[in-house]
Chains A and B, each alone.
Chain A
């Protein structure tokens, strides 16, 4: 697993004045927070697709991380195959994700909805295995990363020691744009209102003449499209391999649970929080250095950065099942 999310812990520095150590660790904290927030925006975008699907249809999509993986491969293949900038991969990934979502809905999910909940869990799990292994067969198991493009490899310095990589910044900014677009779509257009109506009460929506079947398909399409964009953004700084999905599926579940099922602003805010959560270890290390309690440095804390996410999911669903902004439970 590449260590692309969090920074590394601050290196030990011996024989330096207390003041220097303190400034150093403050910088480290700022760095970790900034990188966490920027990753968080992408996490939010990953979770957005899931929250649309989950909110509208109350079905859990285990294959969500695999949609992301396909989005990442789309970005990668567009950039390397056509020798263009990775940013051109964004629309391609969006379209491919949209079509993939539609295909999954009409090919599989439509049938799963008739069965019990267990069938939905296993059906989407089967989809996950299927997509992962198709990717394995077509693309091979080696991790692939992008090494060129306008954004790749460039960074600028904000303040002493805080380096912002342009890829991450662009990913964060474009995620925000995608969020705004989705929010507008859901709240300001007739189609979005129909989607929300379906989410609130599918039967009533059907009585009011909303084509709920089409709305379900649309939710899957939108879910796939947004996560495709997230994948194309992510591939700029995160190598892609066929097994990358599960981690992101779990992160997305946590984000959705934290933000509240079916809430778009919730997904954005929760994404930021999850991004910070993954950087808890460096932040804590720097903080303990800063306060002079180095004995409390979490030595192995780095190995548990994803455990925090899983633990958060567990605690949120048990103690606050509506999440931060949720209206549905």
Chain B
């Protein structure tokens, strides 16, 4: 009960934020009823997916201050668990989802224990290294399809809630939306929880945290496990939503960085940051790609614009959009 109360306790945000958040929530719920193109629908689903990825990253990268650039390996673990279980043993999505999350958590413990002896750059690059090793393994492991990946077979009857296979996209949308709201509630609890305070303390000054009796190593490992569970859950969904997964698109470094980048663009270490980041980045990427990428001779111009924005944000506003908003507010108050 106490946990639930904490999860729904948003009282430390200013009223304006809550109104905006409420309006956005209503919009998200009503979106499938509004007239929209299929690109818009796909963009919205991707936005929700990347928000949840970002929320996961935020627990370790934002609150904990440990920049993890290997989240894609957990996307891969989640996606492959679901796909393999569905193909080989005909296991429903809702069973393989927790299994995938559990496997991701196990793997995060295995590599997290040595990883968190590292700090800063070294940690970031080591996470890339582990992620690339796992990708190489998956690419040559024939049991799970190797580099060609896996294709999930279609079941006959189409609105299939057990295996989440639908003809209309709005079913997927609502499933992802449920994940999204659960993620927000969980993170809201996480903020006020013991581990949340410990992590922020570690981020601000690890020596002080240790001297206060916080086991920094263990706290980081726990937060990392949380992050991976989030990411693996969305990875499982990704497998069912795309029907087709391969190591290159579920486990590449680009995906890891995209996840971390969106969270950072929005503002790492705040509840709304990753959502804001995904809301800016996903539509920009999709629509820029659709408008500019199709034109001949302009291959890659969308990514050039996108990387310019990354550089500008990193150079001039490293705390992201949320940091900008906070600063503007403080200035107004003074």
Using a CB–CB cutoff of 8 Å, the interface residues on chain A facing chain B are 58, 60, 108, 111-112, 115-123, 125-130, 132-134, 136-137, 140-141, 246, 250, 253-254, 257, 300, 303-304, 306-307, 310-311, 313-314, 317-318, 321
Q: Which of B115, B132, B260 contacts A310 (CB 8 A)?
A: B132
What are the residues of chain A within 8 A of B306 when measuring CB–CB? Answer: 129
Using a CB–CB cutoff of 8 Å, the interface residues on chain B facing chain A are 61, 67, 69, 114-115, 117-118, 120-122, 124-126, 128-130, 132-133, 136-137, 139-140, 253, 257, 260-261, 264, 268, 297-301, 303-304, 306-311, 313-316, 318
Known: A123-B314, A307-B133. A60 touches B125 (CB 8 A): yes
What are the residues of chain A within 8 A of B261 when measuring CB–CB? Answer: 122, 125
Q: Which of A123, A137, A246 contacts B299 (CB 8 A)?
A: A137
Q: Is the CB of B118 within 8 A of A115?
A: no
CA distance A236 to B184 in the complex (A): 53
CA distance A123 to B307 in the complex (A): 9
By beta carbon, the residue of chain B nearest A137 is B300
Q: Is the CB of A317 within 8 A of B126?
A: yes
Q: Would you give 5 A-B contacts (Cβ < 8 Å), ordered by A? A: A136-B300, A137-B298, A141-B299, A313-B129, A317-B126
What are the residues of chain A within 8 A of B268 when measuring CB–CB? Answer: 118
Q: Which of B122, B257, B308 contacts A321 (CB 8 A)?
A: B122
Q: Is the CB of B132 within 8 A of A130?
A: no
Q: Which of A117, A122, A134, A300 contacts B120 (CB 8 A)?
A: A117
Q: Is the CB of A125 within 8 A of B298?
A: no
What are the residues of chain A within 8 A of B316 when measuring CB–CB? Answer: 111
Q: Is the CB of A303 within 8 A of B136?
A: yes
Q: Is the CB of B132 within 8 A of A129?
A: no
What are the residues of chain B within 8 A of A111 when measuring CB–CB? Answer: 315-316
Q: Is the CB of A317 within 8 A of B303?
A: no
By beta carbon, the residue of chain A nearest B136 is A307
What are the residues of chain A within 8 A of B297 when measuring CB–CB? Answer: 137
By beta carbon, the residue of chain A nearest B129 is A310
Q: Is the CB of A129 within 8 A of B310?
A: yes
Known: A303-B140, A318-B118. A310 touches B130 (CB 8 A): yes
Q: Is the CB of B121 within 8 A of A126?
A: no
CA distance A220 to B143 in the complex (A): 46
What are the residues of chain A within 8 A of B311 when measuring CB–CB? Answer: 108, 123, 126-127, 130
What are the residues of chain B within 8 A of A300 when measuring CB–CB? Answer: 140
Give the distance to chain B from A216, nearest Cβ to Cβ, in Å.
15
Known: A60-B124, A125-B310, A307-B137. A250 touches B315 (CB 8 A): no
By beta carbon, the residue of chain B nearest A313 is B129
Q: Is the CB of A112 within 8 A of B315?
A: yes
CA distance A210 to B192 in the complex (A): 48
CA distance A182 to B128 in the complex (A): 30
